[in-house]
């Protein structure tokens, strides 16, 4: 069995793989939201806070792509300097994400293809999962192997909204959240794990941490969401808002 190397930051083979993965995940996210605009399922007629949320999240996509491009191009010094920007960006991602979850729940009742209780609890936990994995990646940045893998796992947890917009979500009820969000997030760490096994003979443990985080948070989320407390909390959260007017269960939207 081959031994995992020290993962030099200048390893172009690995850098190429992570750049391709970053570009693919980014394309799925941007493509999903762009499709919604082109098909008229969404528009720019939204409150300024929603546009600010979009700018923050698109900014993170741009930062992640830039960081992987810099490593592939061998510009390690600029990569490290630009990396400090993520320390300020991550809290904005957390606040912006929590806002959009609350906004969707209270204005439209969230995406009709998801159970409201599952969306509220799971989306919140996934957001904190992204924050936790990304923060951990920054904390261990001197260990390139852990850093780039945990960062990818965190970024993968953002792909759900984009992938979900590319799928026929009404046909996936009642499994839409698991297929469009959870499996989408798991796909890329699994690809990374398999790539490690092919290249080195076995996988870096960071992939297992990422996969366990995604799966573990979803299992905990479902246990909470479908408990009496989860139903009660969801009803309390949207009480007196337009979001309470839709059924809590996933359903086909009115034609």
How many angstroms separate the CA atoms of 127 and 132, rounded? 9
Chain segment 207-250, per-residue pLDDT in tens: 999 999 999 999 999 999 999 999 999 999 999 999 999 999 99
Chain segment 18-31, per-residue pLDDT in tens: 999 999 999 999 99
Chain segment 7-62, per-residue pLDDT in tens: 555 577 899 999 999 999 999 999 988 887 777 666 566 788 888 988 999 999 99
**Domain coordinates of the chain in residue numbers?**
12-238
Are the CB atoms for 139 and 217 separated by under 8 Å? no
**CA distances (Å), origin 99, targets 45, 47, 89, 168:** 17, 12, 15, 26
What's the predicted TM-score (pTM) here?
0.91
């Amino acid at each position: 069995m081959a031994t995992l190397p020290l993962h030099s930051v200048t390893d172009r083979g690995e850098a190429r793989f992570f750049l391709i993965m970053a570009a693919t995940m980014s394309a799925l996210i941007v493509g999903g939201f762009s499709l919604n605009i082109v098909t008229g399922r969404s528009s720019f007629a939204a409150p300024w806070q929603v546009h600010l949320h979009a700018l923050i999240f698109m900014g993170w996509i741009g930062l992640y792509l830039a960081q992987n491009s810099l490593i592939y191009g061998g510009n390690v010094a600029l990569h490290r300097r630009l990396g400090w920007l993520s320390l300020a960006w991550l809290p904005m991602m957390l606040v912006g994400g929590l806002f959009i979850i609350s906004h969707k729940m209270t204005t439209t009742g969230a995406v009709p293809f998801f159970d409201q209780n599952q969306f509220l609890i799971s989306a919140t936990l996934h957001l904190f999962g992204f924050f936790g994995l990304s923060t951990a990646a920054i904390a261990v940045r001197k260990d390139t192997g852990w850093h780039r893998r945990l960062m990818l796992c965190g970024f993968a947890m953002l792909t759900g909204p984009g992938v979900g917009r590319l799928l026929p979500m009404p046909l996936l009820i009642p499994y839409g959240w698991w297929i469009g969000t959870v499996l989408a997030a798991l796909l890329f760490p699994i690809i990374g794990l398999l790539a490690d096994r092919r290249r080195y003979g076995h996988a870096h443990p960071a992939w297992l941490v990422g996969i366990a985080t995604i799966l573990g948070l979803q299992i905990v989320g479902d246990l909470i969401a479908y408990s009496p407390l989860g139903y009660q909390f969801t009803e309390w959260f949207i009480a007196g808002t337009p979001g309470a007017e839709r059924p809590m269960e996933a359903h086909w939207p009115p034609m």
